[in-house]
Amino acid sequence: MSTAATLPIHEVIPALRRALTLHRLVVLQAPPGAGKSTSLPLSLLGEPWLAGQQIIMLQPRRVAARAVAARLAEGLGKSPGRGRVPCALRVADLGQDPH
């Protein structure tokens, strides 16, 4: 059995698929390490209602964003930052006072 299949998120993926079929927006809350950022997007890519759409993942830190992009690209057999797994980082300078 693969590691992804043993993550806690794996148990709720069928219910989440049904919810996403019925609703445009679904909020998912799960503890760190449950597979929200890595297993879930890969599980949803083949859904017919997602055809021509994107899954956008938001991460609070640059390191996390890069790590998730690399993990998703690996799961797809691709290189991060290209093709189906683009990675964009917002740069904000919080050290300067705008006034």
Number of alpha helices (DSSP H) and beta strands (DSSP E) in the chain: 4, 0
Confidence of residue 1 (pLDDT cuts 50, 70, 90): very low
Rounded CA Rg of the chain: 15
pLDDT tens digits for range 22-65: 998 888 889 989 999 989 999 998 899 888 888 888 888 888 88
Residue 31 structure tokens: 């503890």
Which residues, including other chains, have CB under 8 Å from residue 40's CB and lie 6 or more apart?
9, 13, 16, 28
